[in-house]
A and B are shown apart, each in its own frame.
Chain A
């Protein structure tokens, strides 16, 4: 009997050790410094609110912890789009002036693997910058650090919220250096390709309602032309 108890206790301890190792894995840290920091190409920087209620529009399947905004927006309840979130934001430049409009489509990725500390999201941005043109961004984001440092602590908190300072580069691909692909559409961006990284700067989160105080930033590095970029 004592051997059975011993192996069961060992089994539980082993499972806890594994989960602990996975959760506190120091090698799973995401970048806080942009891979584009050393790029010599022209760069554009856009910031936007990451709080759903402060955006122009946010919607998802309607039963997440984030309330769609505005109240009467259509929800994405159909099975094929139920794992997709849609956000429309005003983009601001480095001086805080309105610079453009960004529409972001985000879908949970089937490539997500907990054992690799990857909670992946496939996202695409459709961006319009008045006076300059339009852009398209294809991106893979990893929300592992966000879940570990913001969402889980908020759930553990007796107040069901989190306050602090979280800053990470969320972009993980599709390019090997962890940057996203940019395709220029119209105007000055026509025929131009480049890379981008998206970061999240969060200061407060509530289990009911999601991010309370946070902003995202897109840093876009533009090569001279699609051929140069290749």
Chain B
């Protein structure tokens, strides 16, 4: 009977180990990635932010229209004209795929800046820096400074544009920010600079 008991212990240990090994603790939901490939190289992907429904936070010193309503944004003069915004991010078919932060400052003593961090939970995070001065067409060009996980070996460019002329049946959509990324892997040396051409090709 002692041997049977020891056999039981071994079986119990093995079963617990097998169960612990095989059970997935986390199973992230994945939406399909809608990526088009540009002829000259580069994966083009468009992300959308519907305004105002996708806004999570608007933080600006002295601003009475902060979001959410009871937000206690630091009034410290240190932050000057810093504007912090956080949004939900959608793919081109309006499905929420991530969250993003946008930091901008016009009077920063080390230079004005506009930056995005685009966090796509199942894929990784992108760190984008935009030109402070918009292009003549009205959009802003930018570049990817860093990426994580799926994006860690990639580099490329980005474009930010505000779209007001949209067709939406949703009353909560009055405008839209579009973020377009054109990324290439480490094996390619050429990063397309013409984001507009890439977007035309994508459409």
Known: A70-B72, A101-B84, A126-B103. A6 touches B1 (CB 8 A): yes
Does A186 sit within 8 A of B, measured CB to CB? yes
| Min CB gap A72→B, angstroms | 5
Is the C-beta of A124 less than 8 angstroms from some C-beta in chain B? yes
Contact (Cβ within 8 A) A136 B145: yes
A contact residues around B27 at 8 Å (CB):
110
A46 interface residue (CB < 8 Å to B): no
- Name the residue among B59, B70, B86, B129 with the largest chain A CB count within 10 angstroms: B86
Known contacts: A71-B70, A188-B110. The answer to whether A130 contacts B88 by CB under 8 A is no
A11 touches which of B9, B23, B86, B152 (Cβ 8 Å): B9
Is B28 in contact with A101, judged by CB distance below 8 angstroms?
A: no
The answer to whether A6 touches B86 (Cβ under 8 A) is: no
B9 near A10 (CB under 8 angstroms)?
Answer: yes
Pair B110/A72 contact, Cβ less than 8 Å: no
Closest Cβ of chain B to A161, distance in Å, is 25
**B78 located at the interface, meaning its Cβ lies under 8 Å from any Cβ of chain A in the complex:** yes
**Contact yes or no, A130 B82, CB < 8 A:** yes
Q: In which size bucket is the chain B interface? A: 35 or more
Q: Is B12 an interface residue (CB 8 A)?
A: yes
The residue of chain A having its C-beta at the shortest distance from the C-beta of B95 within the complex is A80
CA separation between A81 and B122, bound complex, in Å? 9
0/1 interface trace, chain A 11-30, chain B, CB 8 Å (1 if under): 11111111100100000000
Q: Interface residues, chain A, CB within 8 Å of chain B? A: 2-3, 6-19, 22, 56-57, 59, 70-74, 76, 78-84, 86, 88, 90, 98, 101, 103, 105, 107-110, 112-115, 119, 122, 124, 126, 128, 130-134, 136, 138, 174, 181, 183, 185-188
Can you identify 15 A-B contacts, CB atoms within 8 angstroms?
Answer: A6-B1, A7-B8, A10-B11, A11-B9, A14-B15, A74-B55, A74-B56, A81-B88, A86-B99, A124-B119, A124-B125, A126-B127, A130-B80, A131-B78, A186-B113
